[in-house]
Structure 1
Amino acid sequence: MSDQILIERAGPDGVATVVLNRPQSHNAITIDMYRELPGLLAGLDADPDVKVVVLRGAGQKAFASGADIAEFERERGDAERARRYNEHVAAAERALDGMVKPTIAMVHGYCIGGGAGLALACDLRFADERARFAITPAKLGLVYSLESTRRLVDLAGPSRATWILVSGQQIPADRAVALGLFDEVVPTDDLAATTYGFAEVVTTRAQYSVRKGKEIVRRVVAGQLTDDAETTAIRNGSFDTPDYAEGVRAFLEKRPPRFTWG
């Protein structure tokens, strides 16, 4: 693992933090970081001690200011090199989007371009009041990918997504939360407590319910409208888990549940 991405476990039990660690460049994302993310995320998804993953940028000035444009002439100087570069970007975003465990983007300051792409691939986005969101391919002569655009449209709707893409303008935090791009906006000093407080709540819930609930949401977003054999099996499978028995018992005994399934 390079020092451009760090894994921290200093927060609540069961929460791992992935840190984009280039504060000197507002955490601009290099091609090596894109290459590294899928393997790191797969490891956290497979780790039984991890229940929630938080993605953040180092410091409080930026989540990520975008892909590192200083690399573009070398890494995206022609169509073939650009194709390979874009594959690494897509793989990193898919790795986030496809995680079984819940993911939260903790957004301090700038969330621009490639940084916005990673944030949109997370399940939730908590931001500070200084955060600014922008997707900027129209300012660079590029075209946003279909998968990334789909995530944007899912949150903001088609007309607002078009406005964001064709303008490339920075959107302040209060407007971004109104558009559905952020789920919560809080004062800068409260962002870590809000994010990790919510993550800790999720770690106390029945993990079968958390992970399968996330899967059902993903199926709905993909267009599934009615139950099939797989979704029926997912729902019925909860009744065979020890956490279901514990949840019912705790309710009847009027005490908090102590879930143990990981």
Structure 2
Amino acid sequence: MTELTMTDDLTVTRDDAVATLTLNRPQSHNAINIGMYRALPGLVAELEADAAVKVVVLRGAGERSFASGADITEFEAERSDAVKAKNYNAKVAAAERALEGMTKPTIAMIHGYCIGGGAGLALACDMRFADTRAKLAITPAKLGLVYSLESTKRVVDLAGPSRAKWILMSGQQIQARRAVELGLVDEVVEPEELEDYTYDFARVITTRAQFSVRAGKEMVRRVLGGQVRDDQETLDLRNSSFETEDFAEGVRSFLEKRPPEFRWS
């Protein structure tokens, strides 16, 4: 495994084509401080630009938590008035947008607590895999805060409007298997299986045609944005796949009855 970047509270490592972005404050259940929110867009940009990286896994350090939320000990200094709160919220939004805006697939690996700001980052990823001990909660109603429209949309897109209201209005902790029923989590496995399950799936994605993987992600993004018919951009995206070496390799490997060896990245 190769270490790419390290800060005090965030680490980025790469194992072949799978990069891992770790929230690294296990002593505080990986509570997310303002420095982490500031650093995340830059780290995500590094991963986006690294041609060797095909999939990114977001996780928390240790075994107790993915992330227990934003670091409440900073609230008085960082969110004590409207101006400070506006600046703080902008940093949070930028971090979540950076994750959501990646062209490469992202997977949140959730163990233990995934609360508040932790859930915000997890929901900005493409997929969420959790262990049976995981607990999720979105908690603005317990703190007298208002969730942003972008963050609310992610909940609605996954859970639907009425369930999103239940999640937001109650702020209750949601057990992993219930989170699957609500649409917040995609897979639940036993704690000792989570890491292998997540990275095995990530490695499967790295063996697929990356043009197809990223184009599929873009098509889903457009559907969630309200597009219901092809426009010239989506037609061009689809038609251009026929001109890639990966398409030629996919056809060759099928006819030759062998696994494909895709090269595009």
TM-score by length of 2: 0.97
Distance 1:250 1:23 in 2: 45
**Alignment match, 1:27:** 30
CA distance in structure 2 between the aligned counterparts of 1:3 and 1:204, rounded to whole angstroms: 33
Q: Are 1:4 and 2:5 counterparts?
A: no
1:182-227 Cα distance to aligned partner (Å, 9 max, x none): 0000000000000000000000000000001100000000000000
Alignment partner of 2:229: what SS?
Answer: coil
User: What residue is the counterpart of 1:85 in the other structure?
Assistant: 88
Q: Does 2:182 correspond to 1:173? A: no
Cα distance in 1 for partners of 2:54, 2:8 equals: 24
The equivalent of 2:125 in structure 1 is 122
Report the Cα distance in structure 2 between the residues aligned to 1:105 and 1:2, rounded to whole angstroms: 20
Q: For residue 97 of structure 1, what is the aligned residue in structure 2?
A: 100
Partner SS, residue 58 of structure 2: strand
d(CA) in 2 for partners of 1:140, 1:152? 18
Q: Does 1:133 align with 2:136?
A: yes
Cross-structure match for 2:167: 164
Task: Determine the structure 2 residue equivalent to 1:186.
Answer: 189
Give me the whole-angstrom Cα distance separating, in 1, the residues matched to 2:198 and 2:8: 24
Whether 1:76 aligns to 2:79 is yes
Shift of residue 70 of structure 1?
0.2
Structure 1 residue ranges, 4+ long, deviating more than 3 angstroms after superposition = none
Structure 2 partner of 1:67: 70
Aligned ranges 1:190-205 → 2 under 5 Å: 190-205=193-208
Say which SS state the counterpart of residue 150 (structure 2) adopts: helix
User: Offset of 1:2 from its aligned partner?
Assistant: 1.7
SS in 1 for 2:129: strand
RMSD over equivalenced CA pairs, Å: 0.6
Q: CA deviation at 1:60?
A: 1.4
Identical counterparts, % of pairs: 72
Select which of 239, 254, 258 maps to 1:255.
258
CA distance in 2 between partners of 1:117 and 1:21 (Å): 17
TM-score, length-normalised on structure 1?
A: 0.98
Q: Which deviations, in whole Å up to 9, do the C-alpha atoms of 1:127-180 show, x marking residues without a partner?
A: 000000100011111000000000000000111111111111000001001111
Structure 1 unaligned regions, length at least 5: none
Spell out the pairing of 1:221-260 with structure 2 (5 A cutoff).
221-260=224-263
Q: CA deviation at 1:80?
A: 0.2
Q: Tell me, in whole angstroms, the C-alpha distance in 1 between the residues paired with 2:156 and 2:226.
A: 14
Give 1:65 deviation, angstroms: 0.3
Q: How many residues align?
A: 260
2:3 matched residue in structure 1: none
- What's the secondary structure of 1:17's corresponding residue? strand
For structure 2, the residue ranges without an aligned partner over 5 or more in a row are 1-5
Q: Which amino acid aligns with 1:54?
A: V
Q: Distance in 2 between matches of 1:7 and 1:212?
A: 25
Report the CA distance between 1:3 and its aligned residue. 1.8
